[in-house]
Chains A and B, each alone.
Chain A
Amino acid sequence: KNQVEQSPQSLIILEGKNCTLQCNYTVSPFSNLRWYKQDTGRGPVSLTIMTFSENTKSNGRYTATLDADTKQSSLHITASQLSDSASYICVVSQGSGNTGKLIFGQGTTLQVKP
Chain B
Amino acid sequence: DAGVIQSPRHEVTEMGQEVTLRCKPISGHDYLFWYRQTMMRGLELLIYFNNNVPIDDSGMPEDRFSAKMPNASFSTLKIQPSEPRDSAVYFCASSLGGRSYGYTFGSGTRLTVV
Contact = CB atoms under 8 A, between A and B. Distances in A.
Contacts of B91: 43-44
Q: What is the interface of chain A mostly: helix, strand, loop, or mixed?
A: mixed
B7 interface: no
Given A43-B4, A43-B91, A43-B93, A102 B106 contact: no
Given A49-B102, A98-B50, A104 B107 contact: no
Interface in B83-111: 91, 93, 98-100, 102-103, 105-108, 110
A100 B108 contact: no
Interface string B69-91: 00000000000000000000001
Contacts of B108: 41-43
Given A98-B50, A107-B42, 13 more contacts: A31-B100, A41-B108, A42-B107, A43-B4, A43-B93, A95-B100, A96-B100, A97-B99, A98-B99, A100-B98, A100-B99, A104-B42, A104-B43
Interface of B: 4, 42-45, 50, 91, 93, 98-100, 102-103, 105-108, 110
The 10 closest A-B pairs by CB, nearest first: A43-B105, A100-B100, A98-B98, A104-B43, A100-B99, A93-B100, A106-B42, A31-B100, A44-B105, A43-B107
